[in-house]
């Protein structure tokens, strides 16, 4: 019973509260519980990156990281609970209104397709070679109370755990934190528990993107999601595409980068444009870039590149070449500048990656 309660708390309640805490400061999206759930996970990843990387280099124990991380998550969730407790009725009404507008048959078909994909993780097993590092690293952290100190394959202190690209994108530690909080083995957390939320989150993000693109036309949104589900289910034409990454190894950081972080960048940049780029949109993109770095060091490059390309394309699309006077160039420059500032975490981690040993020499 304790494990079930902790799973519900860690996988559903806390992420939702974290997301609602951030969205409380938005005007249009404050009651969007689906977007809040997505943002809640991004916040967890971002906090994980901010805490874990320096603690790895300072040789802090895993339990100390776990205590600090959980304290921050619990405090923020409690604050959110207090702030949002007065508007439970408002949230409930918004949920009911959304359900009334949803096409029943199409939404049911979408949910069934997603459930089938989640069931594949629970009912069957996929053996992935990369788990020899990812899952084993999480297990090693829990069992030895260390952070990237011992090799997950040999137990030696000199091994792959010292490679900088693993230390700067330490996503296996998130699996270890969930395992420690729920008293469930990291292998079970990775292969069974995490897909229960990470697979639906992927479709939530695409659903939110479609909702914006189709101007809140629910029928077209769910038709898009059904087509997307079919593409993912039958997308195993390569072991290296995002379709395969979603349904074979979504618990690995690079799979989360491909299926959650990059689509979330598209989503949040679109939302920022809709909201005329307020401060909260900048904060969300900043959180997202930290989260991208946490999943894998590929996120250090791909997150800022995707962010800047998306905002650049959106700004270019505003240009009316027949009447260039209507184009608000200074506003576009402001939006581009704010997006660039939101990429600072990736830029900093990138500089550390390339100049780490030079930086170390300065302090020796």
Q: What is the pLDDT of residue 329?
A: 77
Q: What is the pLDDT of residue 342?
A: 92
Domain ranges of the chain: 2-362
| Helix intervals (H) in 168-324 | 172-182, 186-188, 194-213, 218-233, 242-249, 253-256, 262-274, 279-295, 298-317
pTM for this prediction = 0.93
pLDDT tens per residue across span 185-195: 999 999 999 99
Round to whole Å and give the CA distance between 78 and 81: 5
Distances (CA, A) of 17 to 58, 60, 96, 278, 318: 31, 28, 19, 22, 35
Q: Cβ contacts of residue 210 below 8 Å, gap of 6+?
A: 220, 221, 224, 225
Range in 142-146, 223-227, 270-274 with the lowest mean pLDDT: 270-274
pLDDT at 291 over 90: yes
pLDDT tens per residue across span 314-363: 888 877 666 666 667 777 888 888 899 999 999 999 998 888 766 665 55
pLDDT tens per residue across span 226-251: 999 999 999 888 878 888 899 888 99
DSSP state of 252: S
pLDDT tens per residue across span 199-216: 999 999 999 999 999 988
pLDDT average, residue stretch 100-128: 90
Q: What is the pLDDT of residue 31?
A: 83
pLDDT average, residue stretch 273-279: 84
Cβ neighbours, 10 Å, residue 3: 12
pLDDT at 122 over 60: yes
pLDDT tens per residue across span 17-68: 999 999 988 878 888 899 999 999 999 999 999 999 999 999 999 999 999 9
Per the prediction, the chain carries an average pLDDT of: 89
Q: What is the pLDDT of residue 364?
A: 47
């Amino acid at each position: 019973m304790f494990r079930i309660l902790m799973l519900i708390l860690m996988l559903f309640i806390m992420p939702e509260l974290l997301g609602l805490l951030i969205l409380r400061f938005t005007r249009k999206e404050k009651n969007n519980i689906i977007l809040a759930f997505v943002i809640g996970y991004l916040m967890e990843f971002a906090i994980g990156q901010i805490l874990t990387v320096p603690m790895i280099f300072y040789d802090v124990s895993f339990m100390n990281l776990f205590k600090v991380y959980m304290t921050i998550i619990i405090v923020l969730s409690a604050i959110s609970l207090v702030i949002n407790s007065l508007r439970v009725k408002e949230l409930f009404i918004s949920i009911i209104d959304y359900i009334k507008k949803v096409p029943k048959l199409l939404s049911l078909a979408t949910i069934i397709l997603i459930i089938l994909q989640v069931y594949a993780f629970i009912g069957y097993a996929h053996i992935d070679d990369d788990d020899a590092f990812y899952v084993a690293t999480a297990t090693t952290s829990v069992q030895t109370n260390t952070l990237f100190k011992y090799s997950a394959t040999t137990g030696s202190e000199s091994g792959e755990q010292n490679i900088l690209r693993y230390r700067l994108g330490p996503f296996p530690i998130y699996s270890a934190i969930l395992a420690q909080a729920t008293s469930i083995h990291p292998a079970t957390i990775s292969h069974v528990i995490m897909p229960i939320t990470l697979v639906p989150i992927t479709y939530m993000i695409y659903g939110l993107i479609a909702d914006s693109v189709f101007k809140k036309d629910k029928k077209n949104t769910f038709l898009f999601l059904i087509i997307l589900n079919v593409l993912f289910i039958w997308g195993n034409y390569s072991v290296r595409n995002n379709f395969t990454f979603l349904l074979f190894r979504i618990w690995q950081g690079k799979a989360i980068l491909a299926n959650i972080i990059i689509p979330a960048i598209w989503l949040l940049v679109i939302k920022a444009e809709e909201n005329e780029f307020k401060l909260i949109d900048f904060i969300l993109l900043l959180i997202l870039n930290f989260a991208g770095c946490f999943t894998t060091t590929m996120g250090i490059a791909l997150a800022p590149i995707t962010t800047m390309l998306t905002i650049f394309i959106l700004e270019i699309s505003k240009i009316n070449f027949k009447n260039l006077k209507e184009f608000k160039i200074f506003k576009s420059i402001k939006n581009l500048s704010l997006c660039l500032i939101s990429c600072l975490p990736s830029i900093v981690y990138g500089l550390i990656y390339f100049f780490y040993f030079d930086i170390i020499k300065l302090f020796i």
